[in-house]
Amino acid sequence: MREKLESLQVAAARVKSGASLVMSANLERPPMAFLRELVRRKVRDLRVIGVVGGDLNIDFLVGAGAVSVVDTCSVTMGEFARTGPNFARHVIGARVRALDNT
């Protein structure tokens, strides 16, 4: 039987610049080690699709300069912030294109 698990580095290497990533909003279990590895690899121009919104995961990637398009209904920080600070700053500065998928 083929091994189904792979290292974090191998998994992150599969994501190339210009790829689309689908993530859900969940402040309790965001895949931060994976996202940090993408940033370390200097992956850019991602299209991030937030299913049922986005939070820390999307805001982190936007702040790191890895995202060019965010397609979601919202990016919040739960009870900590109404809008993700990086997301808001990059959208207002026209560095990220925000698509509303409500």
Would you place residue 2 in the very low, low, confident or very high pLDDT band (cuts 50, 70, 90)? confident
User: Structure tokens of 74?
Assistant: 């919202």
Share of the chain above pLDDT 90, in %: 73
Query: Residue 82 carries which DSSP code?
Result: S
* 53-87 per-position pLDDT tens digit: 888 999 999 999 999 999 999 998 878 888 999 99
- Mean pLDDT over residues 22-27, rounded? 81
- Phi and psi angles of residue 100, each rounded to the nearest 5 degrees, phi first: -90, 120
- Report whether pLDDT(96) > 80: yes
Instruction: Supply the pLDDT for residue 81.
Output: 84
- Mean pLDDT over residues 10-33, rounded? 90
For the beta carbon of residue 41, count every other beta carbon within 10 angstroms: 15
Q: Tell me how far CA of residue 44 lies from CA of 51, 61, 65, 77, in angstroms.
A: 21, 9, 7, 23
The pTM assigned to this predicted structure is 0.90
Domain ranges across the chain? 39-102
What is the rounded distance in angstroms from the CA atom of residue 18 to the CA atom of residue 47? 7
